[in-house]
Structure formats: structure tokens, C-alpha cells
Amino acid sequence: METFFQSESKFSLLLGSDVISPYFYLVLIAGLYLTFRMGFPQLRYLFLSLKILTGNMDFKGSKGQLVHSQAFFAGIGSSLLTGSIIGTALAVAYGGIGVIFWIWVITFFIMPLRLVSSTLAIKFRNQLPSGRYLAGPMYFIEKSLRAKWLAVAFSFAAILTVLSFGGVFPFLSLTFVAKEGLNFSGMSGPISISVILLFIVVGGIRRVGKTATVLAPLGILLFIFAYFTLFGSGLTPFFPYLKEIFVQAFSLQAIEGGGIFGILRTISVSSGVFFLSTETGLGKSAGVAGVVRTDYAAKQGLVSMLATFFEGFIMATLIGFVLYSYGAVNVESVLAFPERILENKDSIPSIMLFLAILSFGILSLAGWFYTGEQSAFYIFGEKFANFFRILFIGTILASAYLYVQNGETVFLFAIKFGYMMALITSIPLLVSLILLGKSANLELKKYISESGARYEIIKDIYLLVLTLLPKNLISKLFGYFSTLKLPRFMMIIILKAFAKAYKINLDEAELEIKEYASLNQFFTRALRAEARIIDSAENAVVSPTDSKITSFGSITESTIIQAKGIDYSVKELLGSEKYYKSFTNGKYITFYLSPQDYHRIHSPFFGQILGYYYEPGKLFPVNDLAVLNIRGLFPKNERLITFLQTEYGKIAVIKVGASNVGKIRVTYDNKIVTNNWIRFSKEHIYKDVSIMIDKGSELGRFEMGSTVILVFENDTIDLAPNIVLGEKIQYGTTVGQFKKKLIKLPIKP
């Protein structure tokens, strides 16, 4: 079997062991060193990385321009075309199907490379007065290694790499797809692609990030659908494919002709071309990661590590599976494989595949454009960055014109020059990552020790599944189920079982259990009149619910403690621009209602309802596991906030939605409806009516358990000394005493 490396075709002249092998060994040495230096973070923090990616550990108060998922998709989307697809094909052509095994092994060990580069990019980034962030390897090379000359040299090499490897190479690939796959003629395809690219990049990195969160998942879905539709009938059984990978991986003598050096040569060249194609060690992901909104640099480092995992373990395996199934395991068959797809190019699956490749390619161009822009700005400032923008667009269009006129020769030259520049650019960066591994490791330790991050495997799997589930839909369905009125004999059995499971005190309920027609009626049951005593002291503030107090204390400026090491912003929680400043440096109490508890909410004090703010959001559960692991949980979830004016100061009564909470309802306005199919943020002030409510009067209800948070103005209340963290409390019990009267009610809103 003749491999790509051994063949005498013109492709064999593009990349050889004399350049690829040194790159491969440098990547491997850097990966091995960082893996051991940082204690195998790819094993210890894999699920923590997934948690961060899903957004349940975001902190909106952090500085930056992108969220973790936007940076991830911008990075991985741009490496799928030239990396996972073309890179895998080149690797198999060089070394046969057994190279997939070595890609897996090496992927595992080099995952920390992106962790370190992205962490350092955030740690050493600069922020301009305009709010724009400047980041990339050149900044941490200069600041940490104190090697300005090396940073400048890296930036110049990076610009040439961007223009060739990141610009011309993917653009010509897209030109080929547009021409051969989608029947664009002449320059119509390149011009159309460049217009789309311009629309994305003129919006800056924010638009690149937002576009990536749409195009990357869409492209992946199109790719998966086209993959199984186009190739499904011809795919061999998967496990025999895996077996053949292992057999070929340890039979490389058959490929290279024997000898340990020959085997190493085959592994290094075939694997090396894959990792170079996936932009390993080139610093592009660091440039994008450097603008992420995060409170710890290592958080985005962990997310970036997942891109290597996805490319090496998932995409390489899928591409290799198709190539093996269709016998494309040497140079001739790999080069001929695109022709098989083009034979049915007008079929819907083929069109979907071409659209997926276009999506990946456009993201690739956008990501590299931003990387080059950062490098140009670093060297000579904004004027040179503007020149680079014009140069980038002009270069790719000129290359497309030459390709249309002269064909394959232009493409081959672009590949050769691009890969050579990528190799040159990788050397200073990989050496820098080795030297700066200690600094990145300190950032990782700082994040783990200070942030309250949890990375227990079982919990992380639970939280990952929880994040991916359609929580709002499930909650709506549960809410619908809870209102069903089943036959009486069935409902009594269900209600008794529920009451027994959660140890509900039925003696306090207003009605007999047989009188409740649905689960929802039972959840929102009223209590007997004498079941609770409301503290009647003039200045006593009472608990609004039967619940457990999960946190309380002082608000530090505008920050509330969610759990140890986890906090969130009052502004994020309240949403209202009108009132949130009133609660800076105030007090707060968080009440958690379990399914066991009475689900109605009562006013903590006599006052006038000024208005409300509704924020549609997610519906994460609010149990201990979620509170301890999901950063900023309460501001993420759906909320309905009632602003209550008392004679002693304002109270914000925040009702937080949660999983399986069908609705949040209030007594003072029946127009308010939560958890609808279509939901928008809304703030309403009652200007023409004074709505008064007595202490202990019903304010609202949850249709299942959740959380209530009381927030008080600064210097208006002393929290009761007898409230204890984690203990159950009944509504009407004193939780604090107001200090002095400030106004008389009612007031004119």
C-alpha cells in the first residue's frame, strides 16, 4: 500500500519529514511537559471544562467581550475545514488508517497547549480606553518573557501565516467548493464569500463570536446529517473499523518498510500534518480567547482545551471512518475521494455538506482575520491594522482570481507556502508555552482554590446533562401535567404518595387531601387560618415563606453571596435600572422552598407595591448541588421581582423560577404570566394606582418549589440574630427589625 509520503506525486513535495518531523516532536515535547507539569489537567478537569463551556459558571460582572461558548465556537469552527477534514485526509494519505490511533494518543498529551496559551492570553491582555481588548501570544511573550524582539518577530510571522495559511488556503478551498459543488461560476463564489466575511468582521470580535455560535453548531448539524445520509449506507461496522486502526497502528512496518526510525518518521509526518492543519501551536485560539469575559484566566484555558479534544478524538475519528469505509487510505484514493461526492453534487445531502464546509470556512477566515488584525495592531497600531484589513481582503480575492485563471498550481503553491509559514510561526510560541507553563499552572490553581469550582465527575455529568436539557420545555410540560384533573381515586393515590414522599404536614392544609383536584392545586394549597402566627411588632420584618434559609448577610457594594466562593451582582439579579442602585450595600436573605414546603409567598412587611420587573431566563434547579456549582445561578434563572415601598425603606421581593416551576403568579396583577412560549423582559411601574399590601398578606405563589430572595436598602434593617443558615423557618417568623421610619405611606409613584 503506497502512502502519500512515499508517492512520487506533486503532493509529496509539499511537506516532508525534514520540516514536519521537527514540528511534531516540538509539539509533543511541549504537550508532555505541560501535561506532567500541570498534573494531567485533561483528565482532572475535563468535565469542569464542559461545565464552563455550557455557561453555568459564567459571571456577568467580569470584563471582556465574548462569553466562553462564543470563543469556543469561533475557535473550533475556524479549524474544522483546514484541520479536521483536510488534516485528517492528509494524515491518512501519509500514514494509512493506523495514524488515527496515534492522533488519539498525541491529542491527549497536547491538550494542555491550548489551556496554557489561552490562559496566558487573558492574563496578559491589554484593554484600550475604548473598551477593546488586545490579546495574543505577542503580549505574553513580551510581558512575561520580556522579549519584545521575539514578540515583534512572532507578529510579523503571524501576519504572513494569516494571509497564507489562514486566508488564501481556506479561501481557495471555499472557492473550489462554491465552483465545483454549488455551481458558482468565475469569481461569483469568491466575491459572495468575501461579502459575507466583510459583514462579519466589520462588526468586530463581538459579531464574530455571535456569528460563530450560530454558524458552528449549524455547520456541525448539517455536516452530521450529510455525513450519515451520504455515507451511511457505505459505512463499514464501526468496531471492525476501530480494530483495524489498532492493527494498522502497530503494523507501521508494512507502511514504511520496517525499522524503528521509519516507523517514527511515518508517525511524526502523518500526525504532524494533522496537528499543523488544526492550528496547534499557532496561537490563533489564544487571540480569540484573550477577549473572553471571565473572572479567572484559567476558565477560558480549560474551555480552549476542549477544542483539541473535539478535533482529535471526534472529528478525526469520523473523517477517518468515512475514508476507511470507502477505501480511501492512500494517496490516490484520498485524492479521488472528493470526486465521489461531486458525482451527486445536486442532491440535498451533498448541498448540505457543501454548506457545512462553507460555514466552517467562513468562520476560519473570520477567526484568522481577527488574529492578523491583532498582530498588525501590536506592531504599528491602528493605522497598520487598517492596512492589514485591506491587505487581507485583497490577498484572498487576488488568490481566487489566480486560481480561477490557472487552476491547481495556485492552490498547491498556497498550501506549501502557508504550511511553511505556519511551521515558522509555531516555533517561538511552542518554546514560550514550555517556559511559561509555571505561570499558567499558578493561574489554574488560583481558579480552583479561590472560585469554589467543583469538578467531581458524577456531579459534573449531572450538571452537564442538566444544562443540555430543554429545561423550559420540561417545566412547561410538568406544569401542564400538574394541572391535569385525573379521576378522583387516581388523584388521591398520587397526592398521598407525594405527601408521604416529601413528608408534608397535611394537618396544616386548608382542605382535606381528597378535595384537591390536581397536583397544582395541592402544590399551591392554602393553610388553615391559625396555622401561622405573624409577628405583629411594628418594625418586625417577617419571613415571606415556609423555607430554608440558604444565605444571608450584607451586600458588599453590589455583590451578593450565593455560596462559598460564588457570588453574583445585585444589578444582574434585579434587572431594573430604576431601583437597583437603592440596594447597594444593603442586606439580603435567601429562602429555598423544597417540594415539602407550603408554596405561597407573603409580604414581609406592610407597604406599597411600586412595580415589578420580569426577566425571562433559564430554569435550572435551585437545590444545593446547583447552587454550589452553577455560577450566578439566580440571575440566570427566570425571575419576577416585586418592588415594595415601606415606611422604613424599599424591599425587593425576588421570586426565582426553577426546574419544574410551571408558573410564578402574584396577587396584585393577574396580567403577569411567566414561563410562556414567547417571553420578553418587562418592567412596569404603577403610576396611576396605589397598591397597598399588609404584612403577612399573600403576595404570590410558586406552582412547585423554588427560591425567594429579600433585598433591603442600605442601613434600614438589622437582621435577626436568631436566624440560622440552613435551618427551616415558617412564614410570619421575624427575620429582622427595621431601624427608623423614613416616609409615610401611601406615596405618589
What is the CATH classification number for the domain harbouring 175? 1.10.4160
Neighbours of 12 (CB within 10 A): 16
Neighbours of 309 (CB within 10 A): 18
The grid cell for 116 is 496554557
Predicted confidence at residue 536, as pLDDT, reads 85
- Verify that 520 and 550 share a domain, yes or no: no
Give one DSSP letter per residue of 443-509, joined into a string.
HHHHHHHHS-----HHHHHHHHHHHHS-HHHHHHHHHHHHT----HHHHHHHHHHHHHHTT--GGGB
In a domain, 66, yes or no: yes
In a domain, 745, yes or no: no
The whole-angstrom distance between residue 667's C-alpha and the CA centroid of its chain comes to 38
- Write the DSSP symbol of residue 559: E
The grid cell for 291 is 477577549
Contact yes or no for 127/133 (Cβ under 8 A): yes
How do the residues of the chain divide into helix, strand and coil, expressed in percent and rounded to 5? 55, 15, 30
The number of residues in the chain equals: 749
In a domain, 216, yes or no: yes
Which candidate in 155, 558, 569, 706 is catalytic?
A: 706
Give the angle 365-367-371 at the CA atoms, nearest 5°: 110
Predicted confidence at residue 511, as pLDDT, reads 85
Active-site residue flag, 599: no
Number of domain units in the chain: 3
In a domain, 4, yes or no: no
- Verify that 212 and 237 share a domain, yes or no: yes
Contact yes or no for 334/346 (Cβ under 8 A): no
In a domain, 529, yes or no: no
- Verify that 308 and 424 share a domain, yes or no: yes
Contact yes or no for 142/328 (Cβ under 8 A): no
Separation in Å, CA 257 to CA 103, 253, 260, 263, 657: 21, 5, 10, 8, 66
Provide Rg for the chain, Cα atoms: 30
Rounded CA gap, 98 and 255, in Å? 10
* Total-model pTM: 0.66
- Verify that 140 and 281 share a domain, yes or no: yes
- Verify that 205 and 81 share a domain, yes or no: yes
- Verify that 142 and 122 share a domain, yes or no: yes
In a domain, 74, yes or no: yes
In a domain, 531, yes or no: no
Helix (H) or strand (E) holding 218: helix 204-231
- Verify that 306 and 369 share a domain, yes or no: yes
Rounded CA gap, 448 and 454, in Å? 8
Cell 452537564 sits on residue:
464
Which candidate in 117, 194, 547, 602 is catalytic?
A: 602
Q: Structural domain of residue 340, as residue ranges?
A: 16-459
Among the candidates 430, 459, 488, a domain finishes at: 459
Beta strands of 580-705 (E only): which ranges? Answer: 587-592, 600-602, 607-615, 639-646, 649-656, 664-666, 682-685, 691-693, 698-702
Rounded CA gap, 65 and 605, in Å? 41
- Verify that 631 and 673 share a domain, yes or no: yes
Mean pLDDT split into 10-residue runs, the chain, 749 residues = 41 54 89 90 84 72 73 73 78 87 92 93 87 87 89 91 89 88 87 91 86 85 87 87 87 53 77 87 84 86 90 90 85 77 84 88 88 90 88 92 87 84 89 91 87 57 58 58 71 79 82 80 80 87 89 78 62 79 86 85 91 79 62 74 91 81 78 70 84 89 80 90 86 90 81
- Verify that 199 and 336 share a domain, yes or no: yes
- Verify that 441 and 495 share a domain, yes or no: no
Predicted confidence at residue 333, as pLDDT, reads 78
Among the candidates 459, 486, 509, a domain finishes at: 459
In a domain, 465, yes or no: no
Which candidate in 58, 546, 567, 597 is catalytic?
A: 546
- Verify that 112 and 79 share a domain, yes or no: yes
Contact yes or no for 570/558 (Cβ under 8 A): yes
Buried b / exposed e over 318-340, threshold 16 CB at 10 Å, is bbbbbbbbbebbbbebbbebeee
Rounded CA gap, 552 and 626, in Å? 18
Separation in Å, CA 689 to CA 328, 605, 667, 685: 76, 19, 15, 10
Q: Where are the alpha helices (DSSP H) in 11-98?
A: 17-37, 41-44, 46-54, 68-77, 86-95
In the chain, what is the straight-line distance between the N-terminal and C-terminal CA atoms, in Å? 84
Nearest CA to 647 out of 544, 738, 534 is that of 738
Rounded CA gap, 453 and 628, in Å? 8
Which residues, including other chains, have CB under 8 Å from residue 390's CB and lie 6 or more apart? Answer: none
- Verify that 403 and 480 share a domain, yes or no: no
Predicted confidence at residue 17, as pLDDT, reads 47
